[in-house]
Amino acid sequence: MNMKKYGLITIILLLVSCNGNEMEQTIFVPDTTDSNLPAYTEWGYNSFGALYERNYFLASNTIVPCKITIQNGIMTFSLSGRIASSYSSYGNQEKMTLNISFPVNGPMNSYSDLLQLQLKTVDFTDIACEVKMIRDSKTQNISVLSGSLFFQRVQLLRINEKEDRAILSGTFSMTFLRNQLPEILSKGRFDVGISNLFVLP
């Protein structure tokens, strides 16, 4: 089996220059067309961003940007950050989490199991998919009209021949009703390192 096909990598130079704490931080590399959005990257920068109406939904160094929870064959992919008018002003803005739940095939107990997500598209309108928005700890009443999550690339990071984390990179967008009014989340991109899998009984 050609493991490169499934996104298996070993990063050596990165590990020499970064300690464990730095690998957990969010690195913001501005997009060339909109400097308030992070550029699309595949380096595990623990970053994500999307245009949200006239504001932005952005990762923050004060919040873990992404968590994955698995229970009874259902994966919940969570992006947590803040809503801000620009990247430079996100610090004190409203906190938001987007929870995307969808079924997965086979066991999901290790980082290597996440490789099956590569090139997977999750259709938000699929009856098997559930999308929840939480803003300042309050679940919003939303109805998804269209949208999807696309895992462009999944990579494994090894340290001393041991799997240390998975790096997931891709895109997302969504049109939805919130409080019966239409809203749009567009141009979404993520590049996150998953160092913990929460597998629930």
pLDDT digits 0-9 by tens, 47-102: 999 999 999 999 998 999 999 999 999 999 999 999 998 776 655 689 999 999 99
* Whole-number pLDDT of residue 9: 41
* Whole-number pLDDT of residue 91: 58
* Whole-number pLDDT of residue 89: 66
Least-confidence region, from 46-55, 78-87, 126-135, 147-156? 78-87
Give the confidence band of 165 by pLDDT, cuts at 50, 70, 90: very high
Closest Cα to residue 58, out of 33, 16, 87? Answer: 87
| Counted domains in the chain | 1
The type of residue at 13 is L
pLDDT(13) > 50: no
Structure tokens at 28: 């913001």
100, 122 in Cβ contact below 8 A? Answer: yes
What 3-state class would DSSP assign to 13? helix
* Whole-number pLDDT of residue 93: 84
Structure tokens at 48: 């994500």
25, 32 in Cβ contact below 8 A? Answer: no
Q: Mean pLDDT score of the chain, rounded to an integer?
A: 88
pLDDT(5) > 60: no
d(CA 99, CA 128): 14
d(CA 58, CA 191): 12
Element counts in the chain: helices (H) and strands (E): 2, 12
Chain centroid, CA 195 distance in Å: 13
pLDDT(200) > 80: yes
153, 42 in Cβ contact below 8 A? Answer: yes
Q: Look up the domain containing 91 and give its range.
A: 3-199
- H/E segment holding residue 124: none
Structure tokens at 198: 């929460």
Least-confidence region, from 7-21, 70-84, 93-107, 144-158? 7-21
